[in-house]
Structure 1
């Protein structure tokens, strides 16, 4: 068997998702040569579409394209999995045994979904009653189950701690409730939402819109709570108070029977980052807007997206210990900032750009309307159109943008580094 090959590239990007491909595309547009992406998956997934699939407003195929078809022109692709990084020697070790050395390194492997962190949750997902919009394999099943439900208790959970677009946990719930109302069965279904925070989102203007929809659908909200245990065979679950909000330290426990469980798993930085020396340590104020803990995520200056100890290492997206709420929408600013700063560093120039903490979460609150939340890392409004703060209100216009315009922009512009 031949020995694994080694290679050197000017810029190595770890992760071929939204963050990795869009920043690689931008770097090529800015004249940076020899940019290579390391990504093991054969298919590229557009995760914002998962909520529409789970809610019955999109087909599964709309979220998938072949990875080879979306690699930006002029960017290389190594189809392999990263085992670890040795930043002192500028070396990336791959699962195949190959080693890739780099001039500049961009670390953006995404976030890790920990289905086994809640006892019984993985088992529940294997039953007909367990669904989710956070994995493509579960999203079509979600709509099959939700659309056939005519009575009983349906529980939707949103995890505590860091999560990618945490508010997306609520989207299939609103889509299902609107469908059940159209079918005349909503009154026969008990809908329970478990959220880890004391409000539905954290911005008063958004909370008011969501609270209005919750009241309209008759949804029962368990605030400052999280899913801590599931018994799939008995179809029961346990929720507990979240200590950071309730002061209960997670001691207060309540049991609930369910007919359908739509769950979002706890999430964390990929385990392998801890061994690299790149991770943020406890006490770092970087966070995703949920719990203020960036431990394990890649340490970066939240303004420049450069590593504070390794000047040729950069990070963005869900794996970075930035101060913003983690979302695909946050990458719109992050990719521009990182690409321009990295290009300037290669030219020996001062870093010209600063990330402003922007993030976005479109809440699909009905089958034809969206509440569009744009905000910074302090959860202050950060509208794309500065003079139109009313864009956050429930609107048909933002539904069209979320369901039709943004997916087209993603596949045709964002992944090419053009938006």
Structure 2
């Protein structure tokens, strides 16, 4: 009898404690600000806003339990960094003042200020920040889904396959090593060629470079969008005997046969034809696309990206909606550096709107950066405006030259800044540093 009572009391305490936890952790259904996306841009914004507006006034809708520092994936794929350095639990990086909703967004209704989650629940907002990123579309290449992660096929763009890159590169003894760049907009447009340079260096170290042909295939008409850095990368590729094939878009992968099929784009005499290339190693940059819940909503432009003013980051139709980063219509490269600069502008303008302050709007100038790793301790630090194409270099030396300092900055300093400052909303990019390190805007 006594034992039975003890079990009953324990069970009763458990039920009460469970009810308390459920009540304590239950997310409210309405917020001052809802941020869709817990990537670099979303956390940079939500961390600051939650501190300024108070606890649980801001929510972050993010389905992944793990946050990845994607700029490190090139170093992981090249065997220069551990994968463990590139991720942390989402629960550790979302601000404690914000409410993390661990679900995916399924629908945005800007006319009613609501977001429908994957489980059907609705979340209301006064202000919305869309920071959802961009979707990897492995299905966009025939045969890729069944080939990747085996058959010598890898991709630094996915946490599921990035570790395969170095593993498969080490297995190469001879043959073709192929590296691809798609025709669609992608995040970090320099990454497809970075791994080619690291692979070249690895093959040289192993003494097999004369047996391996390193080939870069890009669907675009030049190796890099900005001429200053395009000239530099063409020279790097030429000096290392890396074949650069323009207007070649990967359309099919035959994993069992180890063959890659490219469609020739452009207006040349071979446009529309296909070329089949055998490979021993294939690094694929998948085509990318806007998420359907954005593309199919009223906030999207014709291409499926959140339609915002390129200066203020405010939506062109819905004044209480903003966007940042890869999911936005901003005509600049999609990088973490761009998101950092955009976050400062967005937070300034949104906070002024919330507070009713009639201060002048901050303006984003299209700044972005693409650190182009060319080897161990070598890097071309491209910094520019995606709006004008003009370089915006932080340092006084010519950053189009390979430099050990640029490598150290990117490989060791910026990762620490990312975790300790950017995700906490206190890093807005190097504009302040530039005033000291390159006051005359040299180079």
Native 8 Å contact 1:26 1:336 kept in 2: no
1:70-81 alignment, distance < 5 Å? 70-81=93-104
C-alpha displacement of 1:256: 0.8
1:411 corresponds in structure 2 to 419
Q: State the distance in 2 between where 1:279 and 1:202 align.
A: 25
Task: State the Cα distance separating 1:127 from its structure 2 match.
Answer: 2.3
C-alpha separation between the residues in 1 aligned to 2:38 and 2:27? 21
Cα distance between partner residues in 2 of 1:358 and 1:321? 15
Query: Which consecutive residues of structure 1, in runs of 5 or more, have no partner in the other structure?
Result: 282-294
Distance 2:31 2:145 in 1: 39
Counterparts of 2:32 and 2:121 in 1: how far apart (Å)?
17
Moved more, 322-331 or 336-345: 322-331
Distance (Å, rounded) in 2 between the aligned partners of 1:221 and 1:129? 21
3-state SS in 1 of match to 2:393: coil
Alpha-carbon offset, residue 162 of structure 1: 0.7
Structure 1 window deviating more from structure 2 (376-385 vs 82-91): it is: 376-385
The structure-2 alpha-carbon separation of the partners of 1:75 and 1:19, relative to structure 1 and needing over 3 Å to count, comes to same
For the residues of structure 2 that align with 1:266 and 1:182, how far apart are their CA atoms?
Answer: 32
2:247 to 180, 204, 224: 224
CA RMSD of superposed structures (Å): 1.8
CA distance in 1, matches of 2:171, 2:141: 27
- Of the three residues 387, 392, 406, the one matched with 1:382 is 392
TM-score (norm: length of structure 2): 0.87
Which one of the candidate residues 136, 142, 149 is aligned to 1:113? 136
Structure 1 residue 65 displacement after superposition: 0.2
Match runs of 1:11-410 below 5 Å: 11-31=33-53, 34-243=57-266, 246=267, 251-281=272-302, 295-350=303-358, 351-377=360-386, 378-385=388-395, 388=396, 390-410=398-418
Aligned residues: 400
Aligned partners of 2:113 and 2:124 also within 8 Å: yes
- Structure 1 residue ranges (4+ consecutive) displaced by more than 4 angstroms after TM superposition: 29-33, 247-250
Shift, 1:187, TM fit: 1.1
Residue 30 of structure 1 and its aligned partner are, at CA, apart by 4.4
Change (3 A) 1:362 1:136: same
1:404 Cα deviation after fit? 0.6
**How big is each residue's C-alpha offset from its partner over 1:196-240, in whole Å with a ceiling of 9 and x where there is no partner?**
222210223212221222122211111122111122222111112
Q: Give CA-to-partner distance per residue, 1:109-159, whole Å, 9 cap, x none.
A: 110111011111112204231111001121111101112212111110011
Structure 1 position 32, deviation (Å): 6.3
Unaligned stretches of 5+ in structure 2? 1-21, 428-443
Between 234-243 and 25-34, report the one with greater CA deviation: 25-34
- Deviation (angstroms), 1:274: 2.2
* C-alpha contact 2:54 2:97 (8 A) present in aligned 1: no
**CA distance in structure 2 between the aligned counterparts of 1:105 and 1:268, rounded to whole angstroms:** 21
Greater mean deviation of Cα atoms: 360-369 or 270-279: 270-279
Contact 1:238 1:254 in 2 (8 A): yes
Q: Which has the larger radius of gyration?
A: 2
CA contact (8 A) 2:373 2:380 kept: yes
Q: Please give the TM-score of this superposition, normalised by the length of structure 1.
A: 0.92
Aligned-residue offset at 1:389: 5.4
Task: Indicate conservation of the 8 Å contact 1:159/1:166, yes or no.
Answer: no
